[in-house]
Amino acid sequence: PRPIELLNSALATSAAAREKVKVGNAVVHWFKMDLRTRDNRALYMASEKAREAGVPLIGLYIVSPQDFEAHLTAPVRVDFMLRTLEILRRDLAQLDIPLWVETVDNRSRVANRVMDLMAEWGASHLFTNIEYEVDELRREAKLVRLFAQKGLVIEVAHDTCIVPPGLLKSGSGGQYAVYSPWFRSWVRYLHDHLELLELLDPPGRNPESARTTFAKLFDCDIPPAPENKKLGEEEAERLEALWPAGEHEAMRRLTRFCEEDIGTYKENRNMPFISGTSNLSVHFASGTLSARTAVRAARDSNNTKKLDGGNPGIQTWISEVAWRDFYKHVLVHWPYVCMNKPFKPEYSNIEWSYNREHFDAWKEGCTGFPIVDAAMRQLRSIGWMHNRCRMIVASFLSKDLLLDWRMGERYFMEHLIDGDFASNNGGWGFAASVGVDPQPYFRIFNPLLQSEKFDPDGEYIRKWVPELKGIKGKAIHDPYDRGASGQAEKAGYPKHIVEHKGARERALAAYKSGVERD
Ligand code: FAD
């Protein structure tokens, strides 16, 4: 069975028993990738339960360095989450709600530790939002069973997607594997179920007694990052200024984007030298912003209340946010795609290269293709890369270099501030032509044409590859072949590590023979 089925069956089996459990001295909300107070479904449910029973609400967050490792969480992302926790703790404290942050070194001990804490606090109800990654779903299923055995209750909520996975069915009754019909169905579903776009209030204030009964919990410190995830001092300061954490910042960015840039999103979104996108991905990935809130704000700034009408910029942006839902639905339905497997089995036969020198040149932004190098250096410097460039560098790695796309997927997770398993896997699957609804394998980006089209004056390249700053005009896209070889050489800029034309032929042959071998 799929992990989601394990969870559903555990919930169904324990439903009757859960009904009978009495609320103890407190209700607990377990925060995960939902680090916000507003429009948070499980937190809202927990708060309602606590209010009805007249008992305090306690927030819990488990730091598991082992999970950081298993999920390849980037240091810049760990830093963002820890900064966010500090803000969340402060916001909750203003409502007299404590946030207890517990470090558990081994993920296999998480379940028992959560139950021990519940016993200590005299709580019998735990609320949490579902995470759709395979291990997380399995863990939740196990927790539901364990809790039921101990007379405790865990209530889970679908919150991270606007339309919960499993609700949209294709004509044949299955899960859509192609985005466009899935998106039409997503829009239809939401127009018919407007309640899914209703925003949820933040929790109410705790009874005053919470300050004395749970005094110890208000004194909890947010732990530092584990040694191998620590940022240097300069980097930490720079990134904090660039990526302020927390839900207030997320709302500020969303409001500004809806007021100023969303209208021109359609024209500007592919131009990496313009700040034409929302820069909200880190907030979606950490749950400092709910996708529901974002789509509601976009829809409300439109002159029609439809999700697929009115201003083209707004429509396009909503359809991009929907990609995030799409990839999570895919992950739930075909969990193996996020377990290092291509969507279509025949793509397992492609013979990938594992050339270390090529991989290092790609990682370091030293491939001799300025647009690729600019993008990779942007990633290393600020933990984020423009979407157009993510597609260019992913295509370059998997096709021009014929390197195993999983190496690139992993490297992205290790460096992105917005690293999200499903979206990252979906993006790599698309660019390397191995995922659901992928780019056909014979469509291979020419990095020079991409550069000329999307960074015509080379502004993005000059920003991120400063040694090419002095190169004028179109030579910036390919200095060695366009009359600027002296300057490029003097600046120490590398020559192409592969020639695109030959690399393209090699990729076509490898894909064709791999796919046809089946
Ligand atoms: P905007 O253009 O403002 O879009 C708004 C939001 O819509 C984004 O914040 C994001 O949540 C969602 N979105 C937009 N495009 C996509 C998409 N193609 N797939 C899924 N969601 C999308 N996005 C991540 O959040 N985490 C990742 O780890 C990630 N890895 C990627 C890897 C590759 C190879 C590719 C091609 C794309 C990847 N993306 C990932 C999608 C996309 O590049 C980023 O979401 C986007 O660049 C974030 O910038 P923004 O917030 O300004 O986006």
Q: Annotate 9-62 with DSSP letters as a single string.
A: HHHHHHHHHHHHPPP-SEEEEEESS---SSS-HHHHHHHHHHHHHT--EEEEEE
Arithmetic mean of pLDDT over the chain: 95
- Torsion on CA atoms 310, 316, 321, 324, rounded to nearest 10: 130
Question: In angstroms, rounded to a whole number, what is the distance separating the alpha carbons of residues 472 and 445?
Answer: 24
Question: In angstroms, rounded to a whole number, what is the distance separating the alpha carbons of residues 306 and 204?
Answer: 32
Quick one: 274 exposed, middle or buried, by C-beta within 10 A (0-12, 13-18, 19+)? middle
- 346, pLDDT greater than 90: no
Of 419, 417, 398, residue with least CA distance to 407? 398
Of 515, 148, 201, residue with least CA distance to 348? 515
Can you read off the two tokens belonging to residue 438? 């992928």
Residue written as token pair 């909520």: 157
Max intra-chain CA distance, the chain: 79
| CA 155 to ligand 1 center in whole angstroms | 30
Q: Could you write out the DSSP letters of every residue in 488-509?
A: HHHTTPPPPSS-HHHHHHHHHH
The pLDDT assigned to 439 comes to 86
Rounded (5°) CA angle 196-202-208: 150
Burial 364-394 (b: 16+ CB within 10 A, else e): ebbbbbbbbbbbbbbbeebbbbbebbbbbbb
The pLDDT assigned to 364 comes to 98
- 90, pLDDT greater than 90: yes
Is the Cβ atom of 288 under 6 angstroms away from ligand 1?
A: no
Taking each continuous run of H as one helix and of E as one strand, the counts in the chain are 23, 5
Quick check: is 182 catalytic?
A: no
Whose Cα sits closest to atom 37 in ligand 1? 427
Q: How confident is the model over 377-394, as a mean pLDDT?
A: 98
Question: In angstroms, rounded to a whole number, what is the distance separating the alpha carbons of residues 20 and 474?
Answer: 72
Q: Which residues contact 132 (CB under 8 A, 6 or more apart)?
A: 4, 160, 161, 165, 328, 331, 332, 422
> In the structure, what pLDDT confidence band is assigned to residue 514 with cuts at 50, 70 and 90?
confident
Tens digits of residue pLDDT in 98-143: 999 999 999 889 999 999 999 999 999 999 999 999 999 999 999 9
Q: Which residues contact 417 (CB under 8 A, 6 or more apart)?
A: 74, 76, 77, 80, 239, 243, 282, 285, 382, 383, 384
Can you read off the two tokens belonging to residue 23? 């609320």
- Give the C-alpha distances (Å, rounded to integers) separating 109 from 72, 102, 119, 125, 155: 20, 12, 16, 19, 20
- 518, pLDDT greater than 80: no
Cα of first residue to Cα of last residue in the chain, in angstroms, is 27
Question: In angstroms, rounded to a whole number, what is the distance separating the alpha carbons of residues 315 and 273?
Answer: 22
Is the Cβ atom of 324 under 6 angstroms away from ligand 1?
A: yes
Q: How confident is the model over 154-178, as a mean pLDDT?
A: 95
- Higher-confidence residue of 361 and 347: namely 361
Determine the residue of 372, 384, 387, 397 to mutate for testing ligand 1's pocket, defined as the one with the most ligand atoms within 8 A of the Cβ atom. 387
Q: How confident is the model over 301-316, as a mean pLDDT?
A: 92
Long-range contacts of 312-317 (CB under 8 A, 24+ apart): 312/266, 313/262, 313/263, 313/264, 313/265, 313/266, 313/267, 314/262, 314/263, 314/265, 315/266, 316/265, 316/266, 316/269, 317/262, 317/265, 317/278
Q: How confident is the model over 388-398, as a mean pLDDT?
A: 98
| CA 64 to ligand 1 center in whole angstroms | 26
Q: Which atom of ligand 1 is nearest to the CA of 391?
A: 36
- Are the C-beta atoms of residues 126 and 153 closer than 8 Å to each other? yes
The pLDDT assigned to 516 comes to 80
Can you read off the two tokens belonging to residue 47? 């708060």
Is ipTM strictly over 0.95? yes
**Coil, strand or helix at 155:** strand
- Residue 352: Cβ within 10 Å count: 16
Q: Which atom of ligand 1 is nearest to the CA of 416?
A: 28
Quick check: is 120 catalytic?
A: no
pTM of the predicted protein model = 0.97
Is the Cβ atom of 419 under 6 angstroms away from ligand 1?
A: yes
Question: In angstroms, rounded to a whole number, what is the distance separating the alpha carbons of residues 63 and 410?
Answer: 22
DSSP state of 258: I
- Are the C-beta atoms of residues 330 and 337 closer than 8 Å to each other? yes
- 397, pLDDT greater than 90: yes
Q: How confident is the model over 283-291, as a mean pLDDT?
A: 98
Q: Which atom of ligand 1 is nearest to the CA of 278?
A: 3
Tens digits of residue pLDDT in 472-501: 999 999 999 999 999 999 999 999 999 999
Question: In angstroms, rounded to a whole number, what is the distance separating the alpha carbons of residues 147 and 143?
Answer: 6
Is the Cβ atom of 276 under 6 angstroms away from ligand 1?
A: no
Quick check: is 352 catalytic?
A: yes
The pLDDT assigned to 344 comes to 82
DSSP state of 200: -
Tens digits of residue pLDDT in 422-468: 999 999 999 999 999 888 888 999 999 999 999 999 999 999 999 99
The pLDDT assigned to 129 comes to 98
Q: How confident is the model over 258-265, as a mean pLDDT?
A: 97
